[in-house]
Amino acid sequence: MDSSPEMASILLDSDTSSSYEDETGLVLIPKTFPDLLAARSNACPKQLALDSCVRQWTYSQLQRHVAVVADVLQQTGVGPGERVGMCFDLSPWAVVAILASMTLGAAVVPVYPYHAKPRRTTMFREARVRFVIVQDHQYGKDLDDSGYTIIRLMDIDFDAEPRPVINAVSRPEDPAFIAFTSGTTGKPKGIVQTQQAIVTMSTTLARYLNVQDTSRVSQLHPYVFDVSVMEIGMCLATGAMICLTDKGEMMLPSAGEIGPELTKSRITHTTVSPTMLNMMEPAEIPTVRVLSVMGEPLGRNAIEKWASCESRSFYQLWGATEACILQTITTPITKSDRPQNIGYPLLGACRLWIADPSCPDTLLKDGDVGEIVVESRALATEYIGREEETAKAFLGQTKWQDDRSHGRVYRTGDLGRKQNDGSVIFLGRNDNQMNFHDCDRVRERDKGLTEPFSE
């Protein structure tokens, strides 16, 4: 599929353009995840929403499970504005827990279950978590003495008839997901993403990737990564099926492991890191029609290996968590493409500019190297408890912005230059750290299994 700006203008239909645009064309979709689930459940209740080795749920069944858990959470004290911790492996029940929390207007704070307790409690403390949802007694046992109210999903009676969630007024502007990144300081920074921001980015990306109601979208990444909630959002927006492989998350797979799992689950759309990509062979994933890579710089060898399949579209995605998950996509990659080219901004959802790193009010001309800045109405709202850092990174208005724009500006700290065709060449961190933002979290995954949060 052509992902050039011209094609993107066709993809942005009336739902996400005229009624949701500002006068400059920036889109913000004022919807919530519960809105999307309700619409899908009403329109196609018997369509499969989730498939795994242990569970298959239709959209109607998924919505009912969400209602049951939301009822229990509300009776426990969860309400609008709460930040609910989550400690799960990849699981159908984790999807339910995420959507139930969002139904109540609460934000989800996921942690990796195999991280050391100090790491998890640091994140919960930073996010001011009072309630933690876990899958069963095994996952929450070391948190019992930490002062949190623990809700174990396996203790819930899912045959019970849920009461109406009277106080659940989930609003588009509500915080929905809090992602933690270490940044350059080594200390965890909680980044707050709203419902409408994630819906906007997920819906836009789903159109670029041609996600449809017949698509089967893999979920391979732990919930600490915001790409996981993006995948859920793409499915809710389109009626696609979220699919969990038998192996669960495979951030660090063995050679020959991930491809057969994707094929067994009949995956049509998958997003992986270049590290994961290197563990696969093109012939291993015949069902995959759309293959996306993100999280780390893409290498020349990967392009040579994966760009030759005519039956599969191969994309590189790039983004900053602070600008809500993803902001650029390449056209389908060919062997002649440069791996440093991260593509074009997601049209409507954001615009990318190259600014003077020492003065973000000054834009540079095409071809000049400067700081990549993102203009969008779907940026994160803040770094939790870090007002000074928030003010430095998130700019309300710049001198070069159109006065009619409702967007804010985020300074990524990444260096790049804009090509004449509008695509962007990524050149690394302004502080000489060559990584794609979330790449540091990918690499730190195993380190944190036994260490406190101190990258």
Neighbours of 361 (CB within 10 A): 13
More confident residue, 447 or 254: 254
Q: What is the pLDDT of residues 261-280, one digit of tens each?
A: 999 999 999 999 999 999 99
Three-state secondary-structure class, residue 112:
coil
More confident residue, 114 or 201: 201
Which pLDDT does position 181 carry in this prediction? 83
Three-state secondary-structure class, residue 27:
strand
Lowest mean pLDDT segment, chosen from 112-116, 179-183, 299-303, 419-423: 179-183
Identify the burial level of 17 via C-beta atoms within 10 angstroms of its C-beta, where 0-12 means exposed, 13-18 middle and 19 or more buried. Answer: middle
Mean pLDDT (the chain, rounded): 87
Beta-bridge partner residues of 43 = none
* Residue at 384: amino acid letter: I
Domain ranges of the chain: 20-348
Report the pLDDT averaged over residues 27-36: 96
CA 23 to chain centre: 27
Q: What is the pLDDT of residues 42-51, one digit of tens each?
A: 999 999 999 9
Report the pLDDT averaged over residues 59-63: 96
CA 138 to chain centre: 27
CA 159 to chain centre: 32
Report the pLDDT averaged over residues 80-105: 95
Q: Give the model's confidence band at 250: pLDDT under 50 very low, under 70 low, under 90 confident, else very high.
A: low
DSSP state of 299: P
Report the pLDDT averaged over residues 305-313: 90
Report the pLDDT averaged over residues 418-433: 86
Place of tokens 């799960």: 88
Residue 5 has pLDDT above 60, yes or no: no
Residue 247 has pLDDT above 90, yes or no: no
Q: Which helix (H) or strand (E) holds 186?
A: none
Identify the burial level of 283 via C-beta atoms within 10 angstroms of its C-beta, where 0-12 means exposed, 13-18 middle and 19 or more buried. Answer: exposed
Which pLDDT does position 2 carry in this prediction? 41
Identify the burial level of 147 via C-beta atoms within 10 angstroms of its C-beta, where 0-12 means exposed, 13-18 middle and 19 or more buried. Answer: exposed
* CATH 3.40.50.12780, applies to 20-348: yes
d(CA 356, CA 364): 6
